[in-house]
Amino acid sequence: MSEKITGAEALLRSIEAEGTDTIFGYPGGAIIPVFDRLYDHGGKLNHILVRHEQGATHAAQGYARVSGKTGVVFVTSGPGATNVITGLSDAMMDSTPLVVITGQVSSESLGSDAFQETDVIGITQPVTKWSHQIRTADEIAWAVSRAFYIASTGRPGPVVLDFAKNAQNEQIEWNGYKKCEFIRSYIPYPEVNEDDVDAVAEIINAAERPLLVSGHGVMISEAEKELVELAEKADIPVATTLLGLSTIPSAHPLNKGMLGMHGNVAPNMATNRCDVLIAVGMRFDDRVTGDVKEFAKQARVIHIDIDEAEFNKNIKADATILGDAKAVMEKLLPKIKKTKHTEWLDSFVDDEQLELEKVIKKEVYPITGDLKMGEVVNKISEAAGETAVLVTDVGQNQMMSSRYFNYFIPKSIVTSGGLGTMGFGLPAAIGAKIGAPERPVCFFVGDGGIQMTVEELGVILQYGVAVKIIILNNNFLGMVRQWQDMFFNKRYSQTPMVNPDFVALAKAYGIQAEDVVTREELDGAIKRMMEYDGAYVLNVKVEEEGYVFPMVPAGSTMINTIIAPGEKYQPEN
């Protein structure tokens, strides 16, 4: 039996029918009717009032990445809508499902430069999977169902619905909600071609030095089990991308570490020694490949991905399989022969030992001198336990925490990979904790990044979100300083920082906090933070001119890896 409701009510009923339980947002004039109806949906929809619209998108990203659900955002028109562009771009680059609802002026005012009007569709189309303007209430259920379907299926990504105010207020006959299950010309899950699977299996079975690269697509498709089974069956070493971290446990003997500019030496070098490189759910980003002309040029490259546009975009593949990573590997596994690659695996040892001696011991187990980022990350990871989620901001803190945090279970890292958004981390950590309240969330950030979205501490104050915040404070924009040091003759232009009292700032928001200056203070401070039932800030004073090593200079090749100031990688043999 139908009933008459407003468009605003229809929106809320529609997103409830999609299983939404949490919304991140900020009200304003053009979306007031939706927030007015939200007042009566408190039992079903938990709205988190952020302090800036950019924070809403990043919080929704963190929520989506750990919960597996689609993140939902409500903002108003004009500046409210333009403030979400960074988050949309970030979500598009990192394939994170979001549905962002922006208020808009009434349909009759469109194009008149009305107060807080902007061309949301024109602005957002380049950074979304789909962008649509709702001008009448009759199309709300249709638009919402398509939005959730597009955002969450295939290669996930953000969708924007620009919601005209007249459509929010109009009365319609409500006949219930039907989820979208098909859109003509949109094929989110291509049928896996058996001939392609056979061809790839033949290449893998004949390989003598195979290398398996696990990307974010493995995590998105929840194919971690199949990835490990494939690696174990064929005895293949595994490297991960930054966003592929935690798709295989850190301690697994076949896990050889992270690829890329600040990745581990052994897997990076293995890309130039393997005879077959099997890339699953990754896009051959320039931070992974370095000079594309030299990357794995001796290897037969297999590329498995759900997005056909990624094939041969950066690295030419010898064989491809189009499809969801989990579906592909389920078909591939029975065709892979059980084998051993002992000699190949043994060849990693020298490079692993070199990195241990030249980099890791110095960074993680120093005896004297200022505190180092790596040792702080390692100690907190040990204290946080096996279910902890790492959230990072961007910069040296991102690379250090990603390298030295330990991963035990899937979906244990939330970071801005493709866009590299400073300020991402604090709201993303809040969203991650709301999305997985039973898991400890440890957020590492630099003194620069924390100040980009520091206002979101107000969300912690209001909602009591128990995030553990570790500021790796070196009084510099650290990663830019490292580049200035190494490539610009130590000309530290606009990278030294004069910072506020972060402990006082945290306490102003009702958050427990303390400074850590010496190595002797660190263990006790970590224990207090992890045992405290609530949010906590550790402002850790780390060495001012620290480096993230190894480092492959931008656009260079793996053989030019730098492992210490002025010292290049030199293989043992």
Spatial separation of the C-alpha atoms in residues 136 and 313, rounded to whole Å: 40
Structure tokens at 565: 């100031």
Active-site hit among 9, 18, 129, 165:
165
**Those residues with Cβ within 8 angstroms of residue 22's Cβ, 6 or more apart along the chain or in another chain:** 45, 46, 47, 48, 63, 72, 434, 435
Q: What share of the chain is helix, strand, coil (3-state, %, to 5)?
A: 40, 20, 40
How many Cβ atoms from other residues are within 10 Å of residue 193's Cβ? 15
Q: Any catalytic annotation for residue 208?
A: no
Q: Among 90, 114, 101, which residue's Cα sits nearest to residue 34?
A: 101
Q: Any catalytic annotation for residue 479?
A: yes
Q: Within 13 A of 465's CA, how many CA atoms are on the CB side? A: 30
Q: Are 298 and 269 in contact (CB under 8 A)?
A: no
Q: Are 469 and 440 in contact (CB under 8 A)?
A: no
The identity of residue 145, as a single letter, is: S
3-state secondary structure (DSSP) of residue 104? strand
Residue whose structure tokens are 């002797």: 520
CA angle, 196 then 315 then 219, to 5°: 65
Active-site hit among 16, 116, 507, 545:
116
DSSP string, 333-401: GGGSPP---HHHHHTTHHHHHHHIIIIIHHHHS--SSS--HHHHHHHHHHHH-TT-EEEE-SSHHHHHH
Q: Any catalytic annotation for residue 178?
A: no
Active-site hit among 115, 178, 225, 527:
115
Spatial separation of the C-alpha atoms in residues 223 and 218, rounded to whole Å: 5
Spatial separation of the C-alpha atoms in residues 321 and 230, rounded to whole Å: 16
Q: Within 13 A of 8's CA, how many CA atoms are on the CB side? A: 19
Active-site hit among 9, 18, 53, 310:
53
Structure tokens at 67: 């919960």
Spatial separation of the C-alpha atoms in residues 28 and 9, rounded to whole Å: 17
Active-site hit among 93, 399, 452, 479:
479
Catalytic sites, residue numbers: 53, 115-116, 165, 479
